[in-house]
Amino acid sequence: MSACPKCGATVGFLRASYIDITGPDQSWDGVSCACPKCDTILGVLFDPIVLKNEIAREALAQLQRRPDDGS
């Protein structure tokens, strides 16, 4: 198992929280992972389920577009 770099506690699981990740022009759904003992944030990532669904929707939209036949 890993140890928290701040408090040194053995970390067998993480406390996850949904967060918004914002940039200058866009925002995304994310997840922060924290130590269950001291609540230090150990990592932040894009919510993989939301990201997968957004990619699938965009791919489907691109596939459903009519091809330009040049006429």
Beta-strand relationship, 41-46 and 27-34: antiparallel
Q: Give the global pTM.
A: 0.67
**16: amino acid identity, one letter:** A
What average pLDDT does the chain have?
A: 90
Residues 15/36, Cβ–Cβ less than 8 Å = yes
Residue 70 reports pLDDT greater than 60: no
Among candidate residues 59, 57, 54, 29, the one with its CA nearest the CA of residue 44: 29
Residue 71 reports pLDDT greater than 60: no
Question: Positive or negative CA dihedral for 9, 11, 12, 18?
Answer: positive
Hey, is 71 helix, strand or coil? coil
Question: Which tens digit of pLDDT belongs to each residue from 30-63?
Answer: 999 999 999 999 999 999 898 899 899 999 999 9
Q: Provide the residue ranges of all domains of the chain, joining segments of one domain with +.
A: 2-64
